[in-house]
Structure 1
Amino acid sequence: MQFYRLLFVILISVSIIACDEDENFTTDPNFKLTFSTDTVKFDTVLTGFGSTTKQLKVKNTSSNAVHISHLYLKNPESAYRLNVNGIQSNDLMDIILDAKDSLFIFIEVGLDPKNEDALRRLEDQLSFELNGQVQKVILETFAQDIYIVDTDISENTIWTGNRPYLLTKPVWLAEGVDLLINEGTKVYFKKNTALHIKGNLEVRGSFQRPVYFGSSRLEELYDNVPAQWDGIYFYNESTTNLLSHFTVENGINGLNFSKTILNNNPITIEYGIIQNFAEKGLFASNSTIVAHDLLVNNCGEECVRIEDGSGIISHSTFYNSWFFSPRSASVIYYKGVGENSFSISNSIVYGTRTNELELESLVNVSVDNSLLKIGSNVQSNYSSVFTNCMFNENPDFLESEEFNFTLKAESPAINNGSIDFISTYFLDLAGNRRDEDVAPDMGCFEFFEIE
């Protein structure tokens, strides 16, 4: 059996690199191969880990065969790796490409860490020699060194924006331990990883440099794909948490709070984007959430679910048009007990279902100056909680299918928010002022004309 396998490999190789004496070859020095692209670009590659595989198609448009005398990379020590029609080599001689046939080259890149903070550009040149001429295709990528986080955090720690952090396993922040994440920090997660908070998390992003939490798959193919990692979980031992100016996306569950109400400290969440989660975007059980200027969208279940706790939400946008599976949950769900309370102000709650707001309890619940997608029967049932609300009017987002939830000029949400929050929340999610016209807009984005 081993002999036949070897014979098969030899025959395949010969079919690629051996000349057929009976075949006609083009000898025109002006003939050129056709390439599927003139530059093969990789997305940013994290050093120490492999890249995706890119494909280059090389087409012979001639009615005769061509003889590629030499195919090679310019740099003999290149980080790029070639697979040419099944042969793994960065330097091949005498390749025959039949008339009207194509050659497929698969390209990968592997990069070693250099302990550098800045992105570095890596370029090489793939050359094809035939008929006394040389054609070239550029290979290009950016390399990013990272800090690997593969142990639990047991002492006070600061993460900075110098280079990304990569969690390769579920990581626990110990009780009583503080983790400060400064502006511009990027935190990447491998598959099945999560950040578990028993200590205290402080996320201090900025308008210009928000903190990012997301998948380690940086290729464009994985943009806006849910379930690539798990989520961020907070437990009752966690006593003080602030999340300001951040994006968390593309996981199973986004932010999850459990029994943090026991420490009597509310969780402050502001200027955040939570999107593309297979289950819930923001889940809180026995917790108190104070949130403003949030954008939560595209979740397989609720965008926000609060159980047996309290929530104060202002100037936020919640939207769901999940299309990976049929939707069965509303955009927002709330169930309180005892003295729990829940309020929504100056916000947009919209989506593709008839009812996007579900309230299990109406005690200590208020919804004011907000645009809501909700059926007439449910409106009647909840009528005691509504003040100055709009129902079932299209908010006219600019491009919701492209995750752009800024408002069009004709949006009914414009200038229909309450002025009661102007002094506190005078900047929207993009850093634009809300106090420069007659009234603030509903939602997390203030409309302004682009000049």
Structure 2
Amino acid sequence: MRSITLLFFIGILLSVCACRSDFETVASTGDLVFSKDTIYLDTVFTNIGSSTYRLKVYNHSKNDITIPTIKLGKGLSSKYRMTVDGMTGTDGKIFSNVDLLAKDSLYIFIETTVNIADANPTAFLYTDQIQFDSGKNLQKVELVTLIQDAVFLYPKRFTDGTTETLPIGDEKIDGFYLDENDPVNGNELQFSNKKPYVIYGYAAVPSGKTATFDAGARVHFHANSGLIVSNNASIHINGATSTTDKLEKEVIFEGDRLEPEYSNVPGQWGTIWLTNGSTNNQLNHATIKNGTIGLLIQNNNGTTTTIKNTQIYNSANYGILAQTAKINGENMVINNAGQASLACSYGGNYKFTHCTFNNNWNSSEQVAVLVSNYILGAVPEVKDLTEATFNNCIIYGSYSNEMILNKKTGATFAFQFNNCLLKFDNLSNQFTTNPDYQFETDAAHYNAILLNKDPKFLNVSQNKFNIDETSAAFAKGNSAYLIPLDVIGNTRTLPPDLGAYQNKPFHK
């Protein structure tokens, strides 16, 4: 009987609670507390939506209150938009009679899509404010966004709703050819440092043409976008040594999200693709960040791709994926790739001097350097690896073995490591008798190898691979392979250090 009575009262209580649609409140008195008094929405490109930012609003009083209005100062014309505890209000701009319980809080989420023409013409800032209540109870939270103008490059959109495409083998992808006589942008093959460039889809360099990037140029790729260098086309990246931390003369390729939380996120865009038949490609002082494959380099018409003073970071798959390519690399730094920082595959001809190849991807499958002379399923499956030479290099990372040689019979497999620091623990002894990994006794392939010594990089997580005199790489290089200046323009001493950086005292 007592159980039946208890259930009866519980039912009554639930029905009363379910029927109640409001509660007694008093008007807000202007005593709201905010998690921030100013919200800085990080730099955005004109007409590209921002990330979403959060404001928390607290009612510290003992009373349930009603806030008569929460609105943007510029009203319905504001370029900001909000949700208030999941409500969209009037066009995300104006909210009326918002209830807030005693000792409780609510969330406001703010974002913007704004044009450079809407900004302050001198500071390029777009501002507004969130206003709570009015009159004597008015409280405000300021909103500030820096807008960066850019040159936008994208496929044409046709009247039938389709988009311009590029033929890639038997497939087509969203893309377009850069036009040296574009009626709006002028010469699209000349990338200057006057404004950043934002690319949608794949921008292709036409056959017989060269895309040139001036020192200080900035190129941003939208998701699933990239750059293609076509058959008989070329790319010349003419960066130079910078004198400040702003890397003012570096040519930088990265995604189009400028907010700090995106600064090291891999896979935000596709790749820079030097296709089969592209020729005379030259990269100097380039930084390539956060792509799927930083550089995809295929058979380049028998010519050498020259890569100097170049850094590639945070690639979802590969920093460089080379297939039957010919590369001469000096002062290169590659870190953090889902599969390999550097993959020299399907044969080819490769020479790297004073380079730092590291991989700290959070996986037990990644490596810093992979060298092979085959691709499964290809016809033919193997191709000659005529040279894979590493001089005065560092090959390191978080995994036990950071250098893998994949060799198949039926094609040449020529490799050599001279004065290199290698991480290769061979913990399970599976390579003990493998003739390709006899670091101390195979003088034909290995000379002056430092095995499993700590290079003591400055800060791997921040892609700072500088070393000082405590590094195992200090003064272990061979002067015969000397590159006089390091990746950032410091003069190397003799004997040189291994890797891309000349040692300097750290200023932490």
- What TM-score does the superposition give when structure 1 sets the normalisation length? 0.86
**Is 1:63 paired with 2:121?**
no
Deviations 1:372-402 (A, max 9, x none): 1124632358553121220001111122123
Shift of 1:294: 0.9
Summarize the Cα distance change of 1:301–1:119 in structure 2 as closer, same or farther, 3 Å threshold: farther
Separation in structure 1 between the aligned mates of residue 385 and residue 50 of structure 2, nearest angstrom: 53
Where does 1:5-404 land on structure 2 (aligned, <5 Å)? 22-23=24-25, 27=29, 32-76=31-75, 77-85=77-85, 86-88=87-89, 89-114=92-117, 120-129=124-133, 132-150=136-154, 151-155=176-180, 157-198=189-230, 199-208=233-242, 209-260=249-300, 262=301, 264-307=302-345, 308-323=347-362, 325-327=363-365, 329=367, 331-335=369-373, 340-360=386-406, 364-375=414-425, 377=432, 378-380=437-439, 383-404=443-464
Preserved contact between residue 44 and residue 257 of structure 2 (Cα < 8 Å): no
Counterpart CA distance in 1 for 2:323 and 2:41 is 42
Judge which range, 401-410 or 247-256, deviates more: 401-410
**AA partner of residue 446 (structure 2):** F
Q: Deviations over 1:311-369 (max 9, x none)?
A: 1111111111211x441555332439657112111110012333222234696432112
The residue aligned with 1:441 is 497
Contact 1:119-1:144 within 8 A present in 2 as well = no
Work out the CA distance in 1 between the residues paired with 2:466 and 2:198: 31
Asked whether the 8 Å contact 1:26–1:62 carries over to 2, the reply is no
Greater Cα offset, 90-99 or 282-291:
90-99
Q: Counterpart of 1:203 in 2: which secondary structure?
A: strand
Deviates more, 1:55-64 or 1:69-78: 69-78
Tell me how far 1:195 sits from its aligned partner. Answer: 1.2
1:197 Cα deviation (Å)?
0.5
State the 1:165 CA deviation: 1.4
How far off is 1:69 after superposition? 3.8
Q: Secondary structure at the match of 1:310?
A: strand
| Counterpart-to-counterpart distance in 1, 2:419 and 2:459 | 23
How many residues align? The count is 424
The CA deviation at 1:370 is 1.4
Contact 2:368 2:403 in 1 (8 A): yes
Give secondary structure in 2 for the equivalent of 1:340.
strand
Secondary structure at the counterpart of residue 122 of structure 1 = strand
1:94 to partner: Cα distance: 4.0
Larger deviation: 224-233 or 413-422?
413-422
Q: 1:173 and 1:128, CA in 2 relative to 1: closer, same or farther beyond 3 A? A: same
State which drifts further: 402-411 or 292-301.
Answer: 402-411
Distance 1:53 1:328, change over 3 A: closer
Counterpart of 1:447, as a letter, is N
Who is 1:429 aligned against? 487
Q: Which moved more, 1:375-384 or 1:243-252?
A: 375-384
Contact 2:337 2:366 in 1 (8 A): no
State which drifts further: 411-420 or 83-92. Answer: 83-92
Which secondary structure state, in structure 1, belongs to the residue aligned with residue 208 of structure 2? coil
Structure 1 pair 414/217, CA: closer, same or farther in 2 (3 Å)?
A: same
Q: Deviations over 1:190-240 (max 9, x none)?
A: 222221111110011122221111112222222222222110111233121
Relative to 1, partners in 2 of residues 1:255 and 1:339: Cα closer, same or farther, differing over 3 Å? closer
- Report the equivalent of 2:10: none
User: Contact 2:367 / 2:397 at 8 angstroms: preserved in 1?
Assistant: no
Counterparts of 1:277 and 1:382, CA distance in 2: 33
Alignment TM-score, normalising by the size of structure 2 = 0.77
Compute the displacement of 1:24 (Å): 5.2
Is the contact between residue 299 and residue 326 of structure 2 (CA under 8 Å) also seen in structure 1?
no
Q: Which runs of 5+ in 1 are unaligned?
A: 1-14
CA distance in structure 2 between the partners assigned to 1:130 and 1:196 by the alignment? 56
**Letter of the structure 2 residue corresponding to residue 316 of structure 1:** C
Report the CA distance between 1:421 and its aligned residue.
4.0
The answer for the alignment partner of 1:5 in structure 2 is: none
For 2:251 and 2:223, the matched residues in 1 are separated by 20
Q: The residue matched to 1:431 in structure 2 has which SS?
A: coil
- How far residue 26 of structure 1 moved from its aligned partner, in angstroms, is 6.9
**Shift in Å, 1:66:** 3.3
Compared CA separation, residues 128 and 296, structure 1 to 2 (3 A): same
Residue-by-residue CA offset, 1:276-322 (whole Å, 9 max, x unaligned): 11211112222210011111111111211223111111111111121
Give distance in 2, aligned partners of 1:131 and 1:47. 35
What residue identity is the alignment partner of 1:61? H
Whichever residue aligns with residue 240 of structure 1, its letter is N
* CA distance in structure 2 between the aligned counterparts of 1:97 and 1:224, rounded to whole angstroms: 38
The alignment's C-alpha RMSD in Å is: 2.8
How far the C-alpha of 1:246 sits from its partner, in A, is: 1.0
- Cα distance in structure 1, aligned partners of 2:385 and 2:333: 27
Q: Is the 2:372–2:385 Cα contact (8 Å) retained in structure 1?
A: no
Distance 2:118 2:61 in 1: 48
> Per-residue displacement from partner, 1:393-429 (whole Å, max 9, x unpaired)?
111112212322212442111121222344xx22222
Greater shift in the superposed pair: 148-157 or 395-404:
148-157
Q: Is the contact made by 1:68 and 1:130 (CA closer than 8 Å) also made in structure 2?
A: no
Q: Which amino acid aligns with 2:354?
A: H
CA distance in 2, matches of 1:404, 1:368: 24
